[in-house]
Chain A
């Protein structure tokens, strides 16, 4: 029993790899005829998962601190729109990117302030903020797509390849590695985990738990903005609908990746794999030839099952 506990406590870290392998093998066999294993399709999955993975890294920090953010989908949209608008009017990549990031930092910070200083539960404040931010996105864009025709920008943020490596992948790799390092190695990351593990104990240990909460919410806003910028580069334009379906998928991917819904445990790399699993599922459903409605229903059901299984595994350990 004791031995199992000793080993088992890290079980949540590994379960994502089994899920990944299981689904991959299943699709490889069942969807072989439809070209699931073709290089083209696999690269497609990777590209699809990349932007989710970046959001997943932010969500890992938020969940690790025992908070949640439901507003980041709207931040993605608004950041993309602001980036595209600034780029259109100034033609400056630097200014446009700073503008986009500022949107994320600003709204993430507001979320954090309400959580840390006012003490509103994060799911509530971010649910409300989500509506506000999306409203702003619709308003400033006039419900129109804003095209981006700056090749340098689209090359750097999402569309380019260096050799045969998509630039997008470099972004993911960088965010993942930095995120992993920060969460596991730095005082900040350890304090995030401690805060999520037991808020009172963290407080009694001299950790400024309010500052930690403010920081993770802000960080998540910033990463959501980066995701929005990458979307705009990849799709050569921004629209208020960007990110609208990502919230559920990213949170699910993060939990499947081994991060605890209840704080104290977070695995950045698991979240990235979780994002790939989610992209693989979407891809598989399309290859199966399901209609959009059918895809939505199946995706929702699969996510519920996968998250339920993951959480049961975590609880058992």
Chain B
């Protein structure tokens, strides 16, 4: 019997010729809680997807409890005892807790029927195993549970499949403080019962509370493996971010925070954010730093008229404005590059041109019809200006790369002649070059006297291009950072 639940050695994988993991070694001891951390794009999710059978490695060895394995699917991994507990939960909302726990296997039967009594009994045992029998009512429907309770049911479901190794991907991201406590409690119980856990999180404080060891990934390489006892937050953050590599130096617009703000929020509250005040001056790129779930996306949605203001006011050029729909936001010269480009930014089966002019059909009319000539010339102009790699304006966007799709979304915003551009994590999931190009476009846009609010998970982006960065936590702005700041400091501040 090996003392290791997982041993991965020399793992390499590349996508489209880009190497994402370089000779990665990773060991998970039995009964250990081990965190994998790294900034976005460091390769943590790729690594766990290899362990979980979603991706197949190009080279390297993986042993589970000492046995070499080659997974072709998550199902293979599950049979070997590895289960991933997903962030976006995989429970069936209208079924009860007990039904969900044994949903995939239905092991208890009476003839051809499911033995509900036995299923409930076994579910109760599992919840008791987790110490949650008081907390969760077996007969409640899952939709009636809180997010934290669902997460625990999800864990119970994994255990019902006899999983010995659990992968938790950002389990605390959308939980309230109280629920985080509960979940961490469950993780301790699991550990005490010999379950091995891989814990992925952006919330670094949690690591110091429950993890035994940490593996830090940066740019697809392991840069640190250390016992948590021997670590402090500062060293962890430094090893995550490393030293500056191949990052372009941007001119930051300094001293613009005077005069009339282009956009100002005064004590703005919606159902999801509260008392947010901020200013954007002409020529400025303002950063919003916050963890996912901190209200950063909700803030942009409030400005864009998607969420109703319950309190507070929005001013453009010192004039109060009411923006109660995206239509009005666009009329006022505000445009949003949404968080999820495939679901919110694009109609994937429409052409590049059709996507770009979507907000401005009305403005392109000559007589009754949308002018084909003007529409085409706008599409060609932005394809050229943003250097979009497409076969032409009629190319369907589904087949463009992520970076080029994102450029189409940005083009759409620019085509609406916005003065204020709201960007919600615009470089998520796109390659380095496209990232640089999007940063460049943003800079040029601001340099023309326009305003930008940039929300980003990539703190180095904020540090590089924003002279002012608002820190957001739990639905409100806690701090404004102006002047030089390092991304380590920033990472520390948003915790």
**Residues of A that sit less than 8 Å from B by CB:** 2, 5-6, 9, 181, 185-187, 190-191, 193-194, 197-198, 200-208, 264-265
Contact = CB atoms under 8 A, between A and B. Distances in A.
13 contacts: A5-B396, A185-B370, A186-B365, A186-B369, A187-B365, A194-B354, A197-B350, A201-B347, A201-B358, A202-B347, A204-B345, A206-B327, A206-B359
B344 A200 contact: yes
Interface string B335-363: 01010000111111110001000110110
A200 B350 CA distance: 14
B396 A194 contact: no
Contacts of A198: 343, 346-348
A194 B370 CA distance: 14
Given A5-B399, A186-B368, A208-B325, 19 more contacts: A2-B399, A185-B368, A190-B370, A191-B361, A193-B350, A198-B343, A198-B346, A201-B346, A201-B347, A202-B358, A204-B338, A204-B344, A204-B345, A205-B326, A205-B359, A206-B359, A207-B358, A207-B359, A264-B350
Contacts of A201: 343-347, 358
Nearest to B328: A206
A308 B338 CA distance: 36
Contacts of A187: 361-362, 364-365, 370
Contacts of A190: 354, 358, 361, 370
B329 interface: yes
Given A206-B326, A264-B350, A9 B338 contact: no
Nearest to B350: A197
Interface range on chain B: under 10, 10 to 19, 20 to 34, or 35 or more? 20 to 34
Nearest to A203: B326
Interface in B440-466: none
Nearest to A9: B396
Contacts of B350: 193-194, 197, 264
Interface of B: 304, 306, 325-327, 329-331, 336, 338, 343-350, 354, 358-359, 361-362, 364-365, 368-370, 391, 395-396, 399, 412, 416
B204 to A, nearest CB: 33
A74 B359 CA distance: 37
Nearest to A208: B327
Contacts of B348: 198
Nearest to B301: A204
Contacts of B399: 2, 5
B358 to A, nearest CB: 4
A265 B365 CA distance: 21
A205 B343 CA distance: 12
Contact of A9 (B304, B306, B347, B349): B349
A185 B372 CA distance: 8
Nearest to B304: A204
Contacts of B412: 205
A146 to B, nearest CB: 38
A207 B412 CA distance: 13
A186 B367 CA distance: 9
A197 B345 CA distance: 12
Which of A2, A202, A205, A265 neighbours the largest number of chain B CB atoms within 10 Å of its CB? A205
Nearest to B392: A6
Contacts of B331: 206
